[in-house]
Amino acid sequence: MKIRSSEITSEYTYLSRRKFITNTTKLMLGTVLASSCSDSDITTNTQSQIDNVSNSIDSLPDKLTTYESITNYNNFYEFTTDKERVSILSQDLVISPWTIRVGGLVKNPRTFDVDDLIKIFDQEERIYRLRCVEGWSMVIPWQGFPLRKLLDLVEPTMDARYVRFETLYDPNQMPGQKSNWYEWPYVEGLRIDEAVNDLTLIATGIYGKQLLPQNGAPLRLVVPWKYGFKSIKSIVRIDLVAKQPESLWMKAAPREYGFYANVNPKVNHPRWSQRTERRIGELQRRNTLMFNGYEEEVADLYANLDMTTNF
């Protein structure tokens, strides 16, 4: 189900609208609030107002994770493997100017300035669950635009079968890339039908604010039915390709990470059970949902896939 609103004018308006939605209807998590939003519309407000969002949606299936948690508990190995230090080590990442090249098997390859890209596509709000393969999860109000809109602009050719994504490689700004343990830059991929699914988002912000470096600024992928490592951050390049891309994790640990990485409580990672998860901000564990709760929207994509070999 989708609900469209005319605009976002401020963070206060954002919070008020969330409360209004809660008081008027019970929405399934994943409801889309489409809106036109510009930088000038978004104003800075207090942290207490941000945290109050979590208390304003008690009738929703899941409460939003606080802004503080989302921006201070991060997996971003390009900076460090310490989740609570990513925000510190990433704060000087230069995110403007920033360009992203979209090419490969397309009719109209282009290089976009991120600021121009944000103006081309109306920004939408999407509340999605984020499930990490390590067994923890969050609920995040993203801001961005569907990936399919970008792909439509460059027009993939008939030979395009997959979409390959690549993160910035800059060891001077990203000290974690000085490690020889991984083959940098970070690379991920999707089948083209996964990429054009309406849930697949290019995110530019959270909580109505500009995306911060620790969360993958200025552009990151969000694929909510897959484990979080598929949602590649700080993207500089997108290519349409004929062959399945080999991701960083597939190269680093091929026995542990495969291409699909769909959230599946019945298939455990070799190091982590996937049956339950710990929602950040909660003490008790909860049951993991098939496809992270988005089975209705995406199950048909995998009708011919053996889901017992999820990784």
Q: How far apart are CA 253 and CA 154, in angstroms?
A: 33
The better pLDDT of the pair 7, 72 is held by 72
Question: What is the tens place of the pLDDT at every residue in 273-291?
Answer: 999 999 999 999 999 999 9
Question: What is the tens place of the pLDDT at every residue in 248-272?
Answer: 999 999 999 999 999 999 999 999 9
Q: What would the mean pLDDT of 34-45 be, rounded to a whole number?
A: 41
Q: What confidence score (pLDDT) does residue 168 get?
A: 98
**CATH number of the domain that residue 188 is part of:** 3.90.420.10
Q: What would the mean pLDDT of 207-236 be, rounded to a whole number?
A: 98
Q: How far apart are CA 247 and CA 187, in angstroms?
A: 5
Q: How far apart are CA 301 and CA 288, in angstroms?
A: 20
Q: What confidence score (pLDDT) does residue 42 get?
A: 37
Q: What would the mean pLDDT of 19-41 be, rounded to a whole number?
A: 42
Confidence of residue 10 (pLDDT cuts 50, 70, 90): very low
Domain count, the chain: 1
Helix (H) or strand (E) holding 193: helix 192-195
Cis peptide, bond prior to residue 270, ω within 30 of zero:
no
Give the angle 199-200-201 at the CA atoms, nearest 5°: 110
Q: What confidence score (pLDDT) does residue 17 get?
A: 54
Q: How far apart are CA 300 and CA 297, in angstroms?
A: 8
Residue for token digits 């602009």?
A: 153
Q: What confidence score (pLDDT) does residue 311 get?
A: 76
Q: What confidence score (pLDDT) does residue 23 get?
A: 42
The mean of the pLDDT values for the chain is 86
Domain that holds residue 92: 2-309
Q: Are strands 136-146 and 201-206 parallel, antiparallel or unpaired?
A: antiparallel
Confidence of residue 15 (pLDDT cuts 50, 70, 90): low
Helix (H) or strand (E) holding 138: strand 136-146
3-state helix, strand, coil in the chain (%, to 5): 25, 25, 45
